[in-house]
Chain A
Amino acid sequence: MARKYLFIIKMGIKESVQYRMDFIWGILGGMIKILSLMLLWKTLYSSDMSNGKLHFTYEEILIYTILARALDVVIKNNINIVLPEDVQMGKLTNFLIKPIDYLGFRLFEYIGTNLTSILLMIGVAVFGIFQTKIYVHIGYILIVHILQFLISLLNSLLLLFLLYSLFGILSFWYTEVSALNRAYQVFLQVFCGGYVPLEIYGDTFNRIIKFTPFIYIVDLPLRIIMNRCSIRDGMIGVLVQFSWVILLFFLVKYMWKKGVEKFESVGT
């Protein structure tokens, strides 16, 4: 079983080598996003506008920005785009006749094709943080934090994959989902804390968002690694996050079953 998926990752890596330029442009695009956010924060903090409103120092918000973007590269996936395509073009047919799980296949393929970016991004984040000694601003990080962070990172990767899968599965019922898709992607990015800390949106928003899985995608792992929550809160967070993973896993499984029944295997 594990062998199958390892092999798929390997194929993904081989395939990604074919598109070296994609990789370089991807990295460049990511850098520009980070730089522009950093410049924005610099301006905001120098003009004293954020005083009292945010509980982040300037250094902390920089760390947040770098980590959030790095996290985005590590956990993101494209099942929300690939699945509707496979349904519409009938390519899913090839998978349904094979003894393999479609969603698992696509997840590991994506990890494979993006492994180079993922490793590079982790490298850049670690290097950036140590080089600038920015970490002194977030206090001591314990091994427990790192462990909690790694578990929450894995959970958030699964969580995002399941949320995107749910969206992709909609294409069994609605053939034209690409416009909605873009909106959904932006919605997730913004409400996970992918660009700016969720604190910015105010108390009411934060009271509501707590009850959704979104808060566990970027916000939780970053709170843990940036030492912004107690070990106990981190533990509870990871458990709730995992519960969401389980819940969504079964929901995706159920919806997938219903969706495949609707599948019309067009294109031939």
Chain B
Amino acid sequence: MNQDIVVEQLYKNYEYFEGASGFRGLARNFIKRDIKIKNAVKNLSFTMNKGEMVGFIGKNGSGKTTTMKMLTGILTPTSGRILIGGNIPIKRSDDFKKKIGLVMGQKSQLWWDLPAKESFDLNRIIYEINKDEYQKNLNKLVEILGVKSVLNIPVRKLSLGERMKLELIASLIHGPEYIFLDEPTIGLDVCAQFDLREFIKEMNKERNITVLITSHNMKDIEDLCKRSIILSNGELVFDGDTSNILDIYPYQQVNIQFEEITDLALLMCYGEIKIKSNTEINIKIEKNKFSNFLSILLNNHKVNNFYLEPLDIEACVRYYYFKDQDEHG
């Protein structure tokens, strides 16, 4: 297999001080600090193929961003091995840096007081992109994200959404082979989110770029990534088809319309019932009790119509987080 990104037994520990509160605590901290260690990433291993798009899922503080920073050579791993297209990120060779693009929804690289076009031009010089290629990339990005009209306005005068789009252009203008997107749709309206996703898909198809994306917006992941990795407390807990995440979820939501007002006593023991109207309910049933439930329902009630609600990936992931929390006490 053409394994393009290899991560093996990756660990990252942070040292931190726990600040005691109050004046006494302050005085104590001043003299002696209790150094604690946080394991942000623990024994993480995975590989990615050239041209693959993978979603990185996990709640806040699960180690997604830390991992991404190690993959891009910003952070030094405590131990473990990373190879990206044959490069070791932490060596920070210019060759490697030209191949990667990192989009962080919360970081700004644009010059605040100048129009974004100036920052793009600077990137052209820094990345040594030839003029024609640069112009072609720029035109395309500007068109897709619809920001032509704001290119020549100082960045500080733009709205958050406009700025985000321009940040994206700045991160992608050099045509990287590996794109790391950390919360790329923060601050974007639904249309822009859609455009961005389409753009990533197109780039992936056209240039076979490899994409790793973290997002709290599950729509991004569902839409872009066939494969997902779920991290919890710095550990890998799921690595597989995004659609398989749905299988973990043990419940099924069913919507039922009765012909007449019905006594629900028999159904109550199967799960949580939400009453939508006199004759319509929604019930959350454990998947393994479903067939049993169905026979009770159809034998004892006059059902007009029923349908299974499509599984919501967000609910599944939420379930995954909580399940994990329970296991960890």
Binding site for B on A (CB under 8 A): 3-4, 7-8, 11, 14-15, 18-19, 90-91, 93-94, 96-100, 260-261, 263-265, 267-268
Q: How far is the CB of A161 from chain B (nearest CB, A)?
A: 21
How many whole Å from A175's CB to the nearest CB in chain B? 10
Query: Which residue in B69, B111, B122 is a CB contact (below 8 Å) of A93?
Result: B69
The number of chain B residues with a CB under 8 A from chain A is: 32
> 0/1 per residue, B92-124, Cβ < 8 Å to A?
101001101010101111010110001001110
Contact B74 A4 (CB under 8 A): no
Identify A11's interface contact among B73, B104, B109, B114, CB under 8 A: B114
Contact B106 A11 (CB under 8 A): no
Given contacts A11-B114, A99-B97, contact A263 B126 (CB under 8 A): no
**A216 to B122 CA separation, bound complex (whole angstroms):** 35
Contacts of B75 in A (CB 8 A): 263-265
Q: B154 within 8 Å of A by Cβ?
A: yes
Known: A97-B102, A99-B127, A268-B107. A11 touches B74 (CB 8 A): no
**Cα–Cα distance between A115 and B182 once the two chains are bound (Å):** 37
A-B CB contact pairs (8 Å), 19 listed: A7-B121, A7-B122, A7-B125, A8-B122, A11-B122, A14-B114, A18-B113, A18-B114, A91-B107, A93-B69, A93-B104, A94-B109, A98-B127, A100-B126, A263-B74, A264-B75, A265-B75, A268-B65, A268-B104
B111 lies within 8 A of A97 (CB): no
**A267: which B residues are within 8 A, CB to CB?**
106-107
- Hey, which chain A residues are within 8 Å of B107, CB to CB? 90-91, 93-94, 267-268
> B73's contact among A4, A15, A96, by CB below 8 Å, is which?
A96
- Measured between beta carbons, the chain B residues less than 8 angstroms from A263 are 74-76
Other A-B contacts than A99-B97, A260-B76, A267-B106, 16 sampled, CB-CB below 8 A, are A4-B126, A15-B113, A18-B154, A19-B113, A90-B107, A91-B107, A91-B108, A93-B74, A93-B104, A93-B107, A94-B107, A96-B92, A97-B72, A99-B94, A99-B127, A264-B75
Q: Looking across the interface, which residue of chain B has its beta carbon closest to that of A94?
A: B109
Partner of A97, one of B65, B100, B122: B100
Alpha-carbon distance between A265 and B72 when the two chains are bound, in angstroms: 12
* Chain A min CB distance to B120 (Å): 12
Is the beta-carbon distance between B14 and A264 smaller than 8 angstroms? Answer: yes
Q: Which residues of A contact B113 (CB under 8 A)?
A: 15, 18-19
Chain B nearest CB: distance from A101 CB in Å? 10
Whether the Cβ atoms of B69 and A99 lie closer than 8 Å is no
CB-CB under 8 A from B74, the residues of chain A are: 93, 96-97, 263, 265
CB distance from B115 to the nearest CB of A (A): 9
> Which residue numbers of B lie inside 8 Å of A, CB to CB?
14, 65, 69, 72-76, 92, 94, 97-98, 100, 102, 104, 106-109, 111, 113-114, 118, 121-123, 125-128, 154, 182
* Interface core residue of B72, B75, B128 (most chain A CB under 10 Å): B75
Complex interface: chain A residues within 8 A of B106 (CB): 267-268
For the complex, what is the distance from the CA of A4 to the CA of B154, rounded to whole Å?
22
Chain B proximity of A217: nearest CB distance (Å): 30
Query: What 6 A-B pairs have minimum CB-CB distances, sorted nearest first?
Result: A99-B94, A94-B109, A18-B113, A99-B97, A7-B125, A261-B76
Question: Complex: how many Å from CA A18 to CA B153?
Answer: 13
Select the residue from B72, B100, B122 with max chain A CB neighbours within 10 A.
Answer: B122
CA distance A149 to B224 in the complex (A): 62
CB atoms of A99 and B104 under 8 A apart: no
Known: A8-B122, A99-B98, A99-B127. A15 touches B72 (CB 8 A): no
Closest CB-CB distance, B75 to chain A, in whole Å? 6
Question: Which of chain A's residues have a CB closer than 8 A to the CB of B125?
Answer: 3-4, 7
Task: Identify which of A3, A7, A99 gathers the most chain B CB atoms within 10 Å of its CB.
Answer: A99
Please state if A99 and B118 are interface contacts (CB–CB under 8 Å): no
A268:B182 contact, CB within 8 angstroms = yes
**Judging by beta carbons under 8 Å apart, are A11 and B118 in contact?**
yes
Q: Does the CB pair B182–A11 fall under 8 Å?
A: no
Q: Which residues of the partner chain A approach B72 to less than 8 Å between Cβ atoms? A: 97
* Nearest chain B CB to A238 CB, angstrom units: 33
Distance between Cα atoms of A264 and B126 in the complex (Å)? 24
Min CB–CB distance B85 → chain A (angstroms): 15
Q: Which residues of B contact A90 (CB under 8 A)?
A: 107
Contact A98 B126 (CB under 8 A): yes
Which of A97, A264, A268 has the most B CB atoms < 10 Å from its CB?
A97
Closest to A99 in B: B94
Separation of A15 and B115 alpha carbons in the complex (Å): 10
Measured CB to CB, the closest approach of chain A to B158, in angstroms, equals 15
- Please give, as numbers and ranges, the residues of chain A lying within 8 Å of B109 by CB-CB distance: 94
Instruction: For B121, list chain A residues within 8 Å (CB).
Output: 7
Given contacts A7-B125, A11-B122, A18-B154, contact A98 B104 (CB under 8 A): no
Residue of A nearest to B106 (CB): A268
B residues near A97, Cβ cutoff 8 Å: 72-74, 97, 100, 102
A92 nearest CB across to chain B (Å): 8
Cα–Cα distance between A15 and B182 once the two chains are bound (Å): 29
In angstroms, how far is the closest chain A Cβ from the Cβ of B102?
5
Bound complex: CA A267 to CA B118 (Å)? 25
Contact A15 B98 (CB under 8 A): no
Chain A contacts for B182, CB-based, 8 A: 268
